[in-house]
Amino acid sequence: MAILEEPIKEILMVKNYIGGEWVESKGELIDVVNPATCKVIAKVPISTKDELDEAVKAAKKAFPEWRKTPPLARARCLFRLKQLMEERFEELSRIQTMEHGKTIDESRGETRRGIENVEVATGIPSLMMGYNLEDVAFGIDEYVIRQPLGVFGIIGPFNFPFMVPLWFAPYAVATGNCIIIKPSSEDPISQMKVAEMVEEAGFPPGVWNVVNGGRTVVSAMLEHPDIVGICFVGSTPVARDVIYKKCGETGKRVIAQGGAKNFLLVMPDADLERTIAACMTSFYGNTGQRCLSGANLVIVGEGLGEHEYNQFYKKVVNAFVDAASKIRVGYGLDETVQMGPLRDKEKKERVTRFIETGIKEGAKLTLDGRKVKLVGEWPRDCFLNPTVFEDVTPDMTIGREEIFGPVASIMRARSLDEAIEMIHGNSYGNAASIFTSSGKWARDFRYRVQCGNIGINIGIVAPMAFFPFSGMKQSFFGILHGQGQEAIRFFTESKVVIERWF
């Protein structure tokens, strides 16, 4: 099948967007590489602390007028932004495939998810309303007003370059705050395109800023006294030990989403055909590079005798391995490709090391993704094929740590209780799913499992924009989450007024 046309024809120079101006950074330029073709598609600056300071200054300057702008007028900017995103939907999607490597279906899915957050935030006149009660005492009324706080920093991850900053940004500006986004320097093009549309949509200068870069920009954000809150999505060590810690020290609001190790349970009464299709998306979608990816597939023998369980186990494993081995791997702009490359060579090497560790620790390598087979002729630097391990136990490295790649670890559990104990024995608590036809088992699972996002016959438990993106234990640090009503609360202060007239 023909490759869809690439929207990036020549090397793009990514600029910062500060105070409504496209500004060239004084920082060093680094390459943005398409991981499927290994071609340089853009150059992104590693901005300096001074440049971040400039952005904060611009945002702070814009804040007083923007917070006074009626919510309806702010919403109209978002309506225009949504419209522009719809018009450029395909371009935005193909850019994600080029800069990240995901398939075109996945990129379009990401674009839609991002736009949905803009849509939800357009409801700000209703979402931001406070509440009141007359006569809390005789002749005295009391009410709550939600007010914006100032300037927020948003630090995006590489795995969803378009969508993740939009879990926060539309709500932040809708509530009257100003923002500075630092996209991942690995794939910053999507956020540059978003900023172009922000400009066209008529947001006042300084409301929405983008500063590209790395640790220097992040540190400057965390230290800056005029930044009142940080939204971060990335690894657990950074979320916990850097972002959450520093925000605590400096008194900033924080949403810090970390890593994950998600368990998917297959019960004996699961609809196997649909379960396997859902598992393919879960384990191998986005090449396993998402915090909602399935990592451990637990085949549960609740109610089965030894012999029956072994048969059931084999049936699930055979179906899973058969489906995984047929996944077409290649460049995501080929519409028949089902899995793209890892984001870069280092990530592939990291995943490969996990595979080697799995073998050393005694897991059975049933499908070896290191034997790369591609659709089309592409450099193999960043590609792996789907990998499946059997006989994995929760204490093994591959059963315990986040791999962030296309590797499935299959485990055995004789009962639902044992499987839930496995989940609770893991330090992460992002998502967990159960595949079953039993309402009782599903209810038990939903009720007991300590994970932020629970799936029942769902492989990727991605909350819609009007629900919070939850997370527990070592997967989330903070109180309120991104998206929907919780984001509105995060980006506003609840001011209480008690009123009496003499």
Q: Which of 241, 266, 245, 262 is nearest to 254 (CA)?
A: 245
> Taking the complex as a whole, how short is the minimal distance between the CB of residue 233 and other proteins, in angstroms?
14
End-to-end CA distance of the chain: 78
SS (H, E, C) 148-194: ECCEEEEECCCCCCCCHHHHCHHHHHHCCCEEEEECCCCCCHHHHHH
Q: Does residue 347 touch other proteins according to CB under 8 A?
A: no
For residue 10, give the amino acid letter: E
Q: Does residue 292 touch other proteins according to CB under 8 A?
A: yes
CB contact at 8 A, 483 and 117:
yes
E strand or H helix that includes residue 355 = helix 345-360
51, 99, 106, 186: which one contacts other proteins (CB under 8 A)?
A: 106
75, 85, 163, 195: which one contacts other proteins (CB under 8 A)?
A: 163
Residues numbered 460 to 499 that lie near other proteins (CB under 8 A) are 460-462
> Taking the complex as a whole, how short is the minimal distance between the CB of residue 2 and other proteins, in angstroms?
10
Q: Which is nearer to other proteins, 16 or 103 (CB)?
A: 103
335, 349, 356, 421: which one contacts other proteins (CB under 8 A)?
A: 335
Q: Which is nearer to other proteins, 231 or 458 (CB)?
A: 458
CA distance 206 to 47: 17
108, 193, 252, 347: which one contacts other proteins (CB under 8 A)?
A: 108
Q: Is 382 a catalytic residue?
A: no
> Taking the complex as a whole, how short is the minimal distance between the CB of residue 462 and other proteins, in angstroms?
4
89, 143, 466, 467: which one contacts other proteins (CB under 8 A)?
A: 89
CA distance 204 to 77: 9
- With CB under 8 A as the contact rule, which of the stretches 37-45, 123-131, 283-291, 476-484 interacts with other proteins? 283-291
112, 315, 350, 414: which one contacts other proteins (CB under 8 A)?
A: 112
Q: Does residue 160 touch other proteins according to CB under 8 A?
A: yes
Q: How do 431-435 and 262-266 pair as beta strands?
A: parallel
Helix axis angle, 306-325 to 272-284, nearest 10°:
50
List the strands of the sheet with 131-137, edge to edge.
131-137, 140-148, 492-500
The catalytically annotated residue of 231, 247, 291, 382 is 291
Q: What does the angle CA 42 – CA 44 – CA 49 come to, to the nearest 5 degrees? A: 175
> Taking the complex as a whole, how short is the minimal distance between the CB of residue 278 and other proteins, in angstroms?
6
Q: Does residue 109 touch other proteins according to CB under 8 A?
A: yes
CA distance 197 to 296: 40
Q: Which is nearer to other proteins, 35 or 285 (CB)?
A: 285
For residue 11, give the amino acid letter: I
CB contact at 8 A, 460 and 285:
yes
> Taking the complex as a whole, how short is the minimal distance between the CB of residue 460 and other proteins, in angstroms?
4
> Taking the complex as a whole, how short is the minimal distance between the CB of residue 158 and other proteins, in angstroms?
15
> Taking the complex as a whole, how short is the minimal distance between the CB of residue 140 and other proteins, in angstroms?
48
From residue 251 to residue 280, what is the string marking binding to other proteins with x (rule CB under 8 A)? -----------------------x--xx-x
- With CB under 8 A as the contact rule, which of the stretches 105-113, 211-219, 350-358, 436-444 interacts with other proteins? 105-113
Dihedral sign from CA coordinates of 191, 472, 430, 466 = negative
Q: Which is nearer to other proteins, 334 or 344 (CB)?
A: 334
How is residue 229 written in tokens? 């809150």
Q: In angstroms, how far apart are the furthest CA atoms of the chain?
A: 82
| Catalytic annotation, residues | 291
Chain contacts with other proteins (rule: CB under 8 A): 1, 89, 103-106, 108-110, 112-113, 160, 163, 274, 277-278, 280-281, 285-286, 290, 292, 323, 328, 335-339, 458-462
